[in-house]
Structures are given as C-alpha cells and as structure tokens.
Structure 1
Amino acid sequence: MKIVVQVKLMPEADQAAVLRSTLRTVNEAACWVSTVAFERGVPREYELRKHTYAELKARGLGAQAAQHVIKKTRDAYTTLKANIRAGNLGKPGSKRRTRAESKPVVFRPEAAQPYDDRCLSWQYDVRTVSIWTMAGRLKNVRFACSADALKMLREYRRGESDLIERDGVLYLIATCDIPEKPLNESPSGFVGVDLGIVNIATASTGYRAAGRGLSRHRERQLDLRKKLQAKGTKSAKRLLKKRSRKEARHTANVNHIVSKTIVAAAERTGSGIALEDLTGIRSRVRLRKTQRTSLHSWSFQQLGQYLAYKAKLAGVPLVYVDPAYTSQQCSECHHIERKNRVDQATFACRSCGTVMHADDNASRNIARKGEVVWTAGRESRVPAPA
C-alpha cells in the first residue's frame, strides 16, 4: 500500500530563497506548457513533449525537471477530464463546468513539483537532503520529522517525492510503499461503527468517541475568524493566514486517533469492521440553516478513509453496508419503527421494550449487516458446481 509521509524542510535563509525561486519558476513553466496543451487540444504526453521540451530546456530547467513539468501538466488535464466525467464540476452548460473547460489549467506559484531519485537524494542519518534547483544542486538541506516517519522513509520510500510550499513553509511529501498484512478471511465477527456529529464514532464494542470537544474547537475557531475578519487590519489578516489550517490539522489528528483505536480493537479480536455507505449524504439530508454548518464541517469521509487504509495495513476486513433504518431498527428484535428513536441519544423499542443509547443500537445493527454482506461476498466467490 502506498502512503505519503510529509517532512518539514528547515533550510538556511539562502537555501530557502533558492527553493522558493525554483518552485515559482517551474510552476510558471508548467502554466506555459498548459497553455500550449490547451491550444493544441491536450495532446498525449509524448507529443506535448515535442512541442515544449526544447523551450523548457532553454528556460534553464534540467532534463528531469522539464520531463516532470510536462508530465504533471498532462496529469492535471487527465484529472480535470475525470472530474468532468464524474460530474464533480456540474452538469454540461453549468457556469463552473464551462469555466473549467474554457481556459487552460493554471498552477499556483507554490504548487507541488515532483522529484525523482536523480533530482533528490536523502541522507537519513544526518536528516538532510540534496535537491536540484534552478541555481544548481543544493546539499545539506535539513529536514525534520518524527522517529516513526523517519523509519518509514528509510525502509519503504519508493518513487517520486513532491516539493511544496504551504503557508510559507517548505515540505517534501514522499511516497512509501508499505507491505500489507494478509487479509483475515475468517473474521470472528464484525465491529459496527456508527459515524455521527454528536459522537464522532460509536463502535459495537462499546467504544465511543465523543464529538463535543471537536465541536467546541470548531466553534472557537469560527468565532475567532469572525472577529479577525471584522477587524480587517494587516496583523489580523496575518493571523488569519497563520491559523487557516489549524482546524483541519486538529480534526485530522482526532480522526487518526479514533480510527487507530477502532482498527487496533478489531485486529486484537480477529474481527472485521463494518461502516455505513454515506455517499451523497450532504445532498440528501435537509436541515435547518443553524444545523448546516455542523453537517458540512462533519469529516466522516476523512475518518472513513483513515479506517479503510489502517484496516488494510492491519489485514482487517472492512465492508460497507446500506445505512437504511440502522437508527430505527431494534438490534434485539429487529422491529423497525420511526418512533423507536425517541431523541438524538435515546432508542426505545416499541415492540420489545429494549432501551439503550441510540448510537449503540445503530452500531449493533451495522455490525449485523456487516456479517451479512461479508457472508454474501464469500458465497459469491464460491465457484458453481460442475
């Protein structure tokens, strides 16, 4: 499985200036290549190279850097085409789709630039890199990362790494190819995971990750943003820019902790994990205006992705189930009734009288559905008798 590891570069002042200048130059060149590609109907990479490679070399780019600029430009158009085909940019004729189709792809000055092993080498023992720039090879550029990340880089780094600037800080994002554990083909059961806003995740094992702390953090960040935006001073704008990714980092950290806990419990007990398929829930659900902020800041997709890749690494089977009636069905007698859900936190079955926390009930229903889906999948793989 491929996982990216992000390391923070800590260059000297003169090194930082050269790296930033290099990023701006290669992205300016990528914008020119994009214009050529757009005018020529986005040809294949080999044909695009014939029209642009000589000019890129004349601009001072090295051979490998020029190849990477052409490739990342062609990849950007491939991504755009895939998004259009998937309907992510709206229907044919919509303003957003028309705008995307009517002009060349533009690269930000600090956008990522790929580096392969010919342009970038790592010295793990002293935590430095040697990297190609427009001013020549920069050596002894220091980087910082955790001990676990360093071990992962040393043992599993493969392929290209991306140089990127974010909020004035330079990073290298390296790809690591980590071996997966063999999949547990005979799980002892399934851990149902109910994702929510009030409780981020509730597992059928009894584990519950409350969302109150995360909601308070988001509210504090929202209030602070409003105050700084109202001030409008230069220092307020600087602080806004500095804090722009704070909420996202905090949310990602919480989701990592929750997913790690759930996957570790499933691996320890030899169980699988069952999740609801919540695709398109934001467009399906209708809420009051006061509730929309909570819905659209709900990071269930990120948590689901973290659970999926951590489960894959651990060899834990993961299945997706239909979310229909998981909150209205009794996990004991399977009676379905809308009135069973008394309020957000309480489930009381009108048939058998079972009373429990609503999220616990939903997680048990998801676990049971997970077993059904897994069994059906196993049966479908059995060859038909001759």
Structure 2
Amino acid sequence: MKIVVQVKLMPEAEQAATLRTVNDLACWVSRVAFARGVPREYELRQHTYAHLKAEGLGAQAAQHVIKKVRDAYTTLHANLRAGNLGKPKSKRRIKAASKPIAFRSEAAQPYDDRCLSWQYDQETVSIWTTVGRIKNVRFACSGDALKTLRDYRKGESDLMERGGVFYLIATCDVPETETYEPDGFIGVDLGIVNIATTSTGYQAAGRGLGRYRKRQLALRAKLQKKRTKSAKRRLKERSRRETRHVKNTNHIIAKTIVTEAERTAHGIALEELRGIRRRVRLRKPQRVALHSWAFSQLGDFIVYKAKRAGVPLVHVDPAYTSQTCAECGHVDKRNRVDQGLFICRGCGVVAHADRNASHNTATRGAAVWTAGRESRVPATP
C-alpha cells in the first residue's frame, strides 16, 4: 500500500529558483510537444533534451521535466476521453484541448534517489538545485512520519512550494496487515446532515462543519467583491485553511470508525458513492452542500486506515438502503418520512433514518463478504 509523507524543508532561496526554472522549462517543453502533436516520450526527448541540458539542468532533472510534461498530456487526453471536461463541442473542452499545458512556477518537481538523498538520523536531505547540489538541508516532521520514512520510503519524492514554504512529498510503500476473519460487519452510512452514521451507534454530525462552510462562503463572497491583490491572497489562505479543516475532520471520523471495527473484530461495509454528483439532481440552494461534501476523501481515508490495521472492508451498492426496513426488509419510498425519521409501512418499526440505512449496509456487507470469500466445503472424493 502506497502512502505519502510530507516533510517541511527549511527555507532556501535555491529551492525557489530551482522550481521556477524547471517549471519555466516545462512550459517550453509543453509548447514543443503541442506543436509536434504530443509525440511519445522518447521522441519528445530527442527534440528537447539537448536544450534542457544547455539551460543548466542535470541529466536526471531534464528527464523528469520531459516525463512530467508527457504525463500531464496523458492525463489531459484521458480526461477528454472520459468526458470529464465536458461534451465534444463545449467551450471548456475546446479551451483545454486548443492550447499547450502550462505549469505554475511553484508546481511540484519529481526527484529520484540520484537527485535527492535522505539522512534520517540528522533529519537532513541532500538535494539537487540549478546552482549545484546542496547538502545538510534540514527538514521537519512528526516522529511517526520520520519512522515511516526510515522504514518504508521508496521511489520518487516531489518538491513543492505552498504559501512560500517548501515541502518534500515522499512516497512510502507500507506493507498491508493481514486481514482477519470478521465477526460481523459495521455498516457506515454517509451523508451531509450526518457525515457518517454506523450500525454500532457512532454518529458524526455535520452541523458544525456545515456552519463552518456557510461562514467561509459568506467571507469569500465579501472578499471576491473587493477584487484587490490582498483580497485574492486572503482568498487563497482561507481556501487552504478550509481544506485542512475538512481533511482533519475526515481523518478523525475515519480513525474512530476503523478503531471501533478493530476493537470488536468486525469488518467495515462502506457505500460505493462514486459518480453521485453526476447522478443526483438538486435545487440550486442544495448544490453547494452536495459539491462541498468530501465523501470521497472520507471513504479513501477509511479504506487506507483499514488496510493498515488489517480490518476487512467491502463496498456495497447503496441503492434503496434508506427506503428498506432493516427489520423486515420491506421497501417503500414512503418509509423515509423525512431526513431523520424512518417508519416502516410493513411492520411499523420506528427508527432513525441514517441508523436504519447503516444496518442495511452492514447486512449487505456481510453478504458481499460471504459471496466473495473462498469456499470451505470439502472437495468431493
């Protein structure tokens, strides 16, 4: 299982100059690639490698710049084929496909072990820059992150700048813990009013996060009206702050759910909600809440934390879980009286709507696990 560890580098002017240089050259390579019909990486290297070397890049850095550009075009073409940038004649699609890809001056630059070496005991790195290799550059991270780096770091790392601060994003290949045979499943119902509700009784209310988002939305509207440089700077700061707050909230919820499953030797049944934004049709006032809902991030956090802990996890179809009675199995749209109330038309049971849905998710998770595991029936003699 691959995870990333972020470490903060001590400020160095050479790092800023390096990022600006490699990204300016990446823009040049992108223009060459666009003019030549985006050739394969080997052919693109023939057209650009000598120029990159003449501009002062090392051999590995030049290779990484070319690969970064080619990967960016591969991603663009994949998004075009998948329709993620609109229909064939939409303005957004035409705009994306009609000009070369541009790279921001602070965009991330990949480093391999030839350009970057780590000294974990001293908490320093030796890193290539456009003015030569710099040694003993200090970095800062938590004790757990340092242990993960020392034990599992493997592959490339990315140098990036964010808010004038430089970071190294290192890839770590952490082995997955062997999963156990679950003694039942914990169903997780994801929502907006209640971010997560489990069949064991845990409920993460979304009221506080909703108020926080509403307040940030009002502040953004005020700053956007000013249209000054300082207002734009503060908009970026607030956007990053809101992202960090939501991410931290999702981390806490995911850790709580996985810890409970590990403690009780249960598995986790999670709803498969990919593509919900394209399927759901809502009124305009509700669209902000839907598109601000970080359900995918929360689901990813639960998945990777479960893998690290060895907790079995399955994804289930969420269809009709909110309309199905967990007691008798009766399905009726009218069973869901409102957001929080469920009254079965068949057996008359009254329950919290999200709690009822989480029990249905748990039942489906157990069925998926049973259907997918290896048969233990003795072979016929």
TM-score (norm. length: structure 2)? 0.94
1:85-106 C-alpha deviation (Å, 9 max, x unpaired):
2221223233222222222222
Cross-structure match for 1:6? 6
Cross-structure match for 2:20? 24
SS of the residue aligned with 1:93? coil
Letter in 2 for 1:216: R
SS of the residue aligned with 2:148? helix
> Which 10-residue stretch deviates more, 146-155 or 226-235?
226-235
Runs of 4+ in 1 over 4 A off after TM superposition: 379-386
Letter in 1 for 2:4: V
Counterpart-to-counterpart distance in 2, 1:10 and 1:91:
45
Cross-structure match for 1:240? 235
The number of equivalent residue pairs is 381
- Residues 145 and 382 from structure 1, CA distance in 2 versus in 1: closer, same or farther, beyond 3 angstroms? farther
- Residues 223 and 380 from structure 1, CA distance in 2 versus in 1: closer, same or farther, beyond 3 angstroms? farther
> Which 10-residue stretch deviates more, 279-288 or 131-140?
279-288
Cross-structure match for 2:215? 220
Q: Are 2:202 and 1:203 aligned? A: no
* Cα displacement (A) at 1:255: 0.5
Cross-structure match for 1:192? 187
Counterpart-to-counterpart distance in 2, 1:239 and 1:43:
41
Counterpart-to-counterpart distance in 2, 1:74 and 1:383:
53
1:201-237 C-alpha deviation (Å, 9 max, x unpaired):
0011111111111111111211222222334444433
* Aligned counterpart for 2:363 among listed residues 340, 364, 368: 368
Cross-structure match for 1:309? 304
Counterpart-to-counterpart distance in 2, 1:140 and 1:175:
21
* Cα displacement (A) at 1:240: 2.3
* Cα displacement (A) at 1:262: 0.9
- Residues 235 and 51 from structure 1, CA distance in 2 versus in 1: closer, same or farther, beyond 3 angstroms? closer
Counterpart-to-counterpart distance in 1, 2:376 and 2:166:
48
Q: Are 2:314 and 1:345 aligned? A: no
* Cα displacement (A) at 1:41: 2.4
| Aligned Cα root-mean-square deviation (Å) | 2.0
SS of the residue aligned with 2:239? coil
Contact persistence 1:167–1:241 (CA under 8 A): no
Q: Are 2:80 and 1:78 aligned? A: no
Q: What percentage of aligned pairs have identical amino acids? A: 74
Cross-structure match for 2:161? 165
Counterpart-to-counterpart distance in 2, 1:382 and 1:293:
52
Letter in 1 for 2:51: E
* Cα displacement (A) at 1:179: 0.8
Instruction: Trace 1:45-194 onto structure 2 (pairs within 5 A).
Output: 45-184=41-180, 186-194=181-189
- Residues 101 and 237 from structure 1, CA distance in 2 versus in 1: closer, same or farther, beyond 3 angstroms? closer
- Residues 354 and 241 from structure 1, CA distance in 2 versus in 1: closer, same or farther, beyond 3 angstroms? same
Letter in 2 for 1:44: R
* Aligned counterpart for 2:280 among listed residues 285, 302, 305: 285
Letter in 2 for 1:238: R
Counterpart-to-counterpart distance in 1, 2:215 and 2:305:
30
SS of the residue aligned with 2:373? helix
Counterpart-to-counterpart distance in 2, 1:385 and 1:61:
67
SS of the residue aligned with 2:365? helix
* Cα displacement (A) at 1:48: 1.7
> Which 10-residue stretch deviates more, 294-303 or 119-128?
119-128
* Cα displacement (A) at 1:307: 1.1
Counterpart-to-counterpart distance in 1, 2:377 and 2:317:
23
Counterpart-to-counterpart distance in 2, 1:338 and 1:384:
45
Counterpart-to-counterpart distance in 1, 2:277 and 2:73:
28
Counterpart-to-counterpart distance in 1, 2:104 and 2:377:
51
Mind listing any 5+ residue stretches in structure 1 that lack a counterpart?
none
* Cα displacement (A) at 1:257: 0.8
TM-score (norm. length: structure 1)? 0.93
